[in-house]
Amino acid sequence: MREIRCRVFFYDGKDYSTGEWLSAEEAWAENYIEWDGDRLVPTDKCSIIVEGTGLKDKNGREVFEGDIVHITSHRTDVTAPVIYTDRGFTVDGLMAGHYPNGNHHSEVIGNIYENPELLEEPK
């Protein structure tokens, strides 16, 4: 069983800033998260909790829900956010679990909270 890791984003009235990288146990102890039956959720309306996927990109960087990932291979060249669905974590409809840890095809380039411009269409 993988360790559940979280990243906390706090809203400062203007935008979201990165909080701490925490294990679920640490986030629980700090009262940042609670269990709503099937998911961890923030305890206040201003914070966002994202869960780690348990995967790493080609640089060894941990991949979290909401990260923007660039995937290149002979089959695809896509930049998209990691999202959680009822089937698990996906990137542009591709199951994130299909990319093993340290996968040389994927790279985290930012996240949707701090770098939304990475998903904008070029002008």
45-78: burial string, b at 16+ Cβ within 10 Å, e else: eebbbbbbbbbbbbeeebbbbbbbbbbeeeeeee
From first to last of its 123 residues, what are the pLDDT tens digits of the chain? 456 677 777 776 677 765 566 777 777 888 888 888 777 778 887 677 788 888 888 898 888 888 999 988 777 788 888 887 777 777 776 665 555 454 567 899 998 888 888 888 766
pLDDT for residue 92: 74
pLDDT for residue 47: 76
Helical H runs in 1-123?
Answer: 24-29
pLDDT for residue 106: 85
pLDDT for residue 96: 58
pLDDT for residue 110: 92
pLDDT for residue 109: 94
Q: Which class is 5-119 in CATH?
A: mainly beta
